[in-house]
């Protein structure tokens, strides 16, 4: 009841009325929280620039029991992540991290695993990590956190082991399909052994600890597989993931963050 | 169940509710105020709305608000044609004009880029900006988008878009706290921000 406090990351927001702002946060203790920051857009606002996208800090808010829109009292900034605004590529990659965090997060229900995943990815991006592979690592881990980790070791349907070579991935089935089971499957996409190797590696250790490199074709294959599967499972397009595709001269593959 | 008023009143409440920052309660209060107001006062408001729609348009050069094909700034021969200040909205242009610091040309983007909202370059007047710059005359472009994530994304995009032209590209920064709207900056802060602009791209 009343005042609540939690570690939080700003994952979204939009303007409200004259000078207020609705801020969307992912909090460690209470999951997704939407709160109104009064006067946040005024140049001399008490919030300063602390409520900008990606900010990590300590949130204090007044919970309104009858509404899912609360009142933001205080946000003590820990990490502003200014480095994430130094290129459009980096800003777009970080946007995908918080956008997916918002799609996966639930109001009123905190997940320490999801919180750590979002914060870990932002930190890696901010500290200079190859962008597209970090995003792919983030995406496969996000699927695991959501309980949608695809079966990539045996046939998802009959549990038999798979022959060597290029595999078939069933979107509806949520995993690889053996030559017998893939017959009746509706939506499938192919996955190469190199792509599967990357996915297995990406699930190990700390986020971004892997040193795997991929040729452009395999990179594109992994991107397509993970984004298609995530959008299929979440039932919504990931806007940031498609953002740079339509802009000539910008690509996540041409630039690492620093 | 909401009370249904006579239909012209409903219609007025409905259109007022579509205005930014106006909710159901405010719309109702405004509608009843207008209902009680004199015919003359109500007509004055109605005429002002019609007049603004008929007489005010977008400047064909800079996309500022204008009463003719070009806005007063584009028509002013004393403005410095070698400097161009790029802003998000016409409101920001007015804010910078109030400082009296800047004597060059403007370009109004009419929006910002936002990866997370899926707003790309085709939703701002970036193509028109590039065409203007290509046609020559401008030596320095000042990117005066808001100091928030959308404004930064827009500035980063524009800086690379116009880099091949070899112009001096600067970004206003100093004096403006991150996260604010330019429109609300006081004259001193905004003037200092213009003086302290930095190189970009
Ligand atoms: Zn099978
Ligand atoms: Zn003009």
Residues A31, A8: Cα–Cα separation, whole Å: 9
CATH fold of B78-199: Dna Topoisomerase Vi A Subunit; Chain: A, domain 2 (3.40.1360)
Of all residues in chain A, the one with the smallest CA distance to B121 is A247
Q: Are B141 and B80 within 8 A, CB to CB?
A: no
Say how many CB pairs under 8 Å bridge A and B.
92
Q: What is the mean pLDDT of residues A81-108?
A: 93
Cα of first residue to Cα of last residue in chain B, in angstroms, is 58
Tens digits of residue pLDDT in B18-65 = 887 788 888 999 999 999 999 999 999 999 999 988 888 999 999 999
Tens digits of residue pLDDT in A99-118 = 999 999 989 889 999 999 99
Tens digits of residue pLDDT in A154-209 = 999 999 999 999 999 999 999 999 999 998 888 899 999 999 999 999 998 877 77
pLDDT at A48: 74
pLDDT beyond 80 at B92: yes
Choice between A212 and B196, residue whose per-residue pLDDT is larger: A212
pLDDT at A185: 82
Mutate to test the interface with B, among A36, A86, A88 (most CBs of B within 10 A): A88
At B162, list the tokens: 């116009």
Using 50, 70 and 90 to split pLDDT, how confident is the model at A256?
very low
Cα B127 from chain centre: 17
Residues of chain B positioned with their CB less than 8 A from the CB of A240: 115-116, 118
pLDDT at B175: 64
- CATH number for the region A2-80 comes to 2.40.50.140
Residues near ion ligand 2 (Cβ under 5 Å): B 59, 61-62, 64, 71, 74
Distance A233 CA to ligand 1 centre (A): 22
At B47, list the tokens: 């005429």
pLDDT at B176: 65
Inter-chain residue contact A53 with B177, CB threshold 8 Å: no
pLDDT at B188: 61
pLDDT beyond 90 at B193: no
Which of A116, A10, A114 is CA-nearest to residue A72? A10
Residues of chain A positioned with their CB less than 8 A from the CB of B116: 12, 53, 95, 98-99, 239-240
Query: 10 Å Cβ neighbour count for B136?
Result: 9
Per-residue DSSP letter, A151: B
Residues A255, A92: Cα–Cα separation, whole Å: 12
Inter-chain residue contact B161 with A249, CB threshold 8 Å: yes
Residue B199 distance to chain A (closest CA, Å): 13
Q: What is the mean pLDDT of residues B161-175?
A: 87
Choice between A70 and A246, residue whose per-residue pLDDT is larger: A70
Residues A232, A174: Cα–Cα separation, whole Å: 10
- Average per-residue pLDDT for chain B: 89
**B76 three-state secondary structure:** coil
Specify the CATH class of A85-254 in words: mainly alpha
pLDDT at B1: 43
Locate the domains of chain B by residue range.
Answer: 7-55, 78-199
Angle between helices A88-104 and B149-162 (to 10 degrees): 150
Q: What is the mean pLDDT of residues A28-40?
A: 95
- Average per-residue pLDDT for chain A: 90
Inter-chain residue contact A91 with B115, CB threshold 8 Å: yes
Report the half-sphere exposure of A112 (CA within 13 A, side-chain side): 0
pLDDT at B131: 96
Q: Are B115 and A91 within 8 A, CB to CB?
A: yes
Using 50, 70 and 90 to split pLDDT, how confident is the model at B181?
confident
Place of tokens 């602009």: B197
Q: Are B170 and B140 within 8 A, CB to CB?
A: yes
Residues of chain B positioned with their CB less than 8 A from the CB of A48: 177-179
pLDDT at B185: 67
pLDDT beyond 90 at A45: no
Residue B69 distance to chain A (closest CA, Å): 30
Residues of chain A positioned with their CB less than 8 A from the CB of B148: 49, 52
Locate the domains of chain A by residue range.
Answer: 2-80, 85-254
Least confident of A76-80, B92-96, B111-115, B130-134: A76-80
pLDDT beyond 60 at A255: no
Specify the CATH class of B7-55 in words: mainly alpha
Choice between A33 and A257, residue whose per-residue pLDDT is larger: A33
Give Cα separations from B6 to A159, A213, B13, B24, B35 (angstroms). 67, 69, 11, 16, 12
Using 50, 70 and 90 to split pLDDT, how confident is the model at B117?
very high
Mutate to test the interface with B, among A20, A91, A99, A131 (most CBs of B within 10 A): A91
Inter-chain residue contact A43 with B186, CB threshold 8 Å: yes
Asked if A55 is an interface residue toward chain B (Cβ–Cβ < 8 A), one would say no
């Amino acid at each position: 009841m009343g005042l609540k406090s939690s570690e939080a990351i700003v994952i979204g927001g939009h303007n409200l009325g004259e000078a207020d702002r609705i801020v969307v946060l992912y909090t460690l203790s209470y999951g997704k929280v939407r709160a109104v920051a009064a006067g946040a857009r005024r140049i001399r606002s008490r919030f300063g620039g602390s409520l900008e996208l990606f900010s990590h800090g300590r949130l204090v808010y007044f919970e309104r029991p009858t509404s899912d829109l609360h009142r933001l009292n205080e946000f003590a900034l820990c990490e502003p992540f200014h480095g994430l605004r130094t290129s459009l590529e980096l800003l777009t990659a970080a946007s995908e991290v918080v956008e997916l965090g918002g799609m996966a997060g639930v109001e009123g229900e905190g997940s320490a695993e999801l919180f750590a995943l979002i914060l870990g990815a932002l930190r890696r991006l901010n500290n200079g990590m190859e962008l597209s592979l970090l995003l792919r690592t983030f995406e496969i881990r996000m699927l695991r956190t959501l309980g949608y980790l695809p079966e990539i070791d045996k046939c998802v349907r009959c549990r038999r082991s798979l022959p060597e070579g290029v595999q078939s991935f069933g979107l509806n089935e949520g995993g690889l399909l053996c030559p017998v089971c893939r017959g009746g499957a509706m939506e499938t996409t192919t996955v190469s052994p190199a792509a599967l190797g990357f996915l297995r590696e990406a699930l190990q250790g700390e986020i971004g600890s892997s040193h795997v490199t991929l040729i452009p074709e395999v990179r594109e294959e992994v991107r397509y597989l993970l984004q298609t599967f995530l959008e299929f499972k979440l039932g919504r397009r990931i806007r940031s993931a498609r953002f740079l595709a339509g802009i000539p001269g910008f690509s996540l593959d041409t630039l690492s963050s620093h | 169940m909401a009370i249904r008023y006579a239909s012209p009143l409903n219609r007025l409440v409905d259109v007022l509710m579509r205005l930014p920052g106006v909710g159901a309660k405010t719309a109702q209060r405004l509608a009843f105020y207008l209902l009680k107001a004199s015919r003359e006062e109500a007509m004055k408001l109605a005429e002002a709305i019609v007049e603004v729609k008929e007489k005010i348009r977008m400047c064909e050069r800079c996309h500022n608000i204008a009463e003719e094909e070009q806005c007063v700034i584009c028509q002013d021969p004393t403005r410095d044609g070698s400097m161009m200040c790029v802003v998000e909205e016409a409101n920001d242009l007015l804010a910078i004009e109030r400082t009296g610091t800047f004597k060059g040309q403007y370009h109004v983007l009419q929006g910002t880029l936002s990866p997370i909202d899926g707003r790309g370059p085709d939703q701002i007047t970036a193509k028109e900006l590039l065409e203007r710059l290509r046609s020559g005359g401008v030596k320095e472009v000042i990117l005066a988008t808001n100091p928030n994530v959308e404004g930064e994304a827009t500035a980063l995009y524009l800086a690379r878009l116009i880099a091949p032209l070899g112009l001096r590209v600067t970004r206003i920064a100093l004096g403006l706290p991150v996260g604010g709207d330019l429109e609300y900056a006081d004259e001193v802060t905004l003037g200092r921000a213009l003086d302290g602009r930095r190189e970009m791209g």
